[in-house]
A and B are shown apart, each in its own frame.
Chain A
């Protein structure tokens, strides 16, 4: 009825990625910690580039990119497995050859100018819907685009834009018909940085920083509309919904690695003459962490499986995202506790993970938004209790 095993190919891909991460990426970890401690960027750009080249040469490229665009399109389950493996290291690194799903909605000219160079790594995109007054309630965006001849003029402010500091173009969502608002009055524009938008880094408790984007009379040609005028909100939902189940995947890798560190540490760290692994307080922390990691793993794979089956995976994705985000924060807290004072230092990466993983409960839908979605699905009867599969 249910088969939880990986196929031979899946296992081999997992092993290969694991070997790559272990041999090529993890050796950079101390350098990352050192650079960050001393206020430099985590890794010099040339090191990241070299790593990506190596990965590309090895064929780890375009993991979810359709084959007609040169990718290998491994599908959601394998993408989750890959993310779990890359999540084992905190070195900021991802395989190249991918582009945001909604860029595929562009026309031929837009694909040539935006999609293909993004896949090739020559251009960098960012997705901008969130505003100071519109986060989870994205329908309330205020950024305005007004038609002026063959152009549109955009004014407004976006915030918490991932990749916004380095992007050379943005997929920005603006109100083009205030009467209709999110119901047919929001449009997505592809806007090059040299058309005049500005970005400002936002410093966070994590090591990565998003950007605030400012649009002041930014003039954009009509042909830069992505998709159709007034259909922007649908595109935004498509982007947001594309991979919510991917969020916990990296966290599972991180949590498993940390639990491994905690187990090893508990075996060698002695207090009152005994390894702390002998104490029940520590054992319970280890056991609880493992149980939570396992449940997050299977909920995430289940959501990915639903997507792979072509089913509506929104509910399963919310369940996996909520569970994974909470799990990661509980596990990192326990692992830090097991390491005691050492866990609190910047000599070990645990406090870094602690800061980084906190974001998981906020971005791509807060814990509260996920709960709201899950509860509504049940209350309105969209999801039935008592089902399997």
Chain B
């Protein structure tokens, strides 16, 4: 089983995140870079499938040089090798362009199964899995809370608001996962040392038969026109309990559709 996990380096959600004023792209220098949290679940799932079925786990990321940190983390967790798609021409690519570049890289690497987190904590478009599947012409099984490989098929429990759907598709396929699926392992110290020696292949736009004029900020079909900081949080509602406090709290929760 040849499994490719797509991972993304995102700014730490615990730090202050900003867009740059000049080109309206993410200011990667302002915050520490971390592996997108949902991608950790994707790496874990890939490793578990490999441990059960045998095979190889390749990490694929697209991002600047700094994204090598995220590759290293995935390798430390136990992935076998990595491909780093890195090229200045890719800077500012939107979801459509990113999926085109990753699809080309995936074609070059070859795969039975592609696993990725269902969305990133920075852009939060949540569309990459669908775009990749479409471009690669393979089934997409999204929002997986459980994955089973059975011969040439993959079965997932797709998480929904009301429970889950059982969905099955043939391999090769693209699967996106949610955090319910597993508990990602910590990279072991031995794994961290071993990661140093694992192969990381760097690919540029030219290596994946992609036209540089088709990617990057200047050629993006979508644009960030304007952005504004989120408004400061409004003061909360204080319920003074004069015998009716419980009911008032319940009404408040109901008005927000929490109950």
Give chain A's interface residues, CB within 8 Å of chain B.
8-9, 12-13, 16, 19-20, 58-60, 63, 72, 74
Contacts and interface: CB of A to CB of B under 8 A. Distances in A.
B193 A9 contact: yes
Contacts of B81: none
Given A8-B72, A12-B73, A12-B76, A20 B189 contact: no
Contacts of B188: 58-60
Interface size bracket, B side: 10 to 19
Given A59-B188, A59-B190, 8 more contacts: A13-B189, A16-B76, A16-B186, A16-B192, A20-B186, A59-B186, A59-B191, A74-B189
Interface of B: 69, 72-73, 76, 185-193, 195-196
Contacts of A58: 185-186, 188
A13 B192 CA distance: 7
B187 A16 contact: yes
B87 to A, nearest CB: 22
A20 B192 CA distance: 15
B189 A59 contact: yes
B192 A9 contact: yes
Nearest to B193: A9
B73, B191, B192 — most chain A CB neighbours (10 Å): B192
27 contacts: A8-B69, A8-B196, A9-B192, A9-B193, A9-B196, A12-B72, A12-B73, A12-B76, A12-B187, A12-B192, A12-B195, A16-B76, A16-B187, A16-B189, A16-B192, A20-B186, A58-B186, A58-B188, A59-B186, A59-B189, A59-B190, A59-B191, A60-B188, A60-B189, A63-B189, A72-B189, A72-B190
A310 to B, nearest CB: 21
A74 B189 CA distance: 9
A63 B185 CA distance: 18
B236 to A, nearest CB: 15
A12 B189 CA distance: 9
Contacts, number: 36
B129 to A, nearest CB: 26
Contacts of B72: 8, 12
A310 B186 CA distance: 31
A60 B189 CA distance: 7
A314 B187 CA distance: 34
A13 B188 CA distance: 8
A368 B193 CA distance: 41
A77 B193 CA distance: 16
Give 4 nearest A-B pairs by CB, closest first: A59-B188, A58-B186, A12-B192, A72-B189
A8 B63 CA distance: 18
B230 to A, nearest CB: 20
A16 B187 CA distance: 7
A8, A63, A74 — most chain B CB neighbours (10 Å): A8
Contacts of B186: 16, 19-20, 58-60
Contacts of A8: 69, 72, 196
A72 B189 CA distance: 8
Nearest to A59: B188
A72 B187 CA distance: 14
B73, B186, B189 — most chain A CB neighbours (10 Å): B189
A13 B196 CA distance: 13
Contacts of A74: 189
Contacts of A19: 186
Contacts of B185: 58
A141 B40 CA distance: 56
Contacts of A59: 186, 188-191
Contacts of A13: 189, 192
Contacts of A9: 192-193, 196
Contacts of B196: 8-9
Contacts of B191: 59
A351 to B, nearest CB: 28
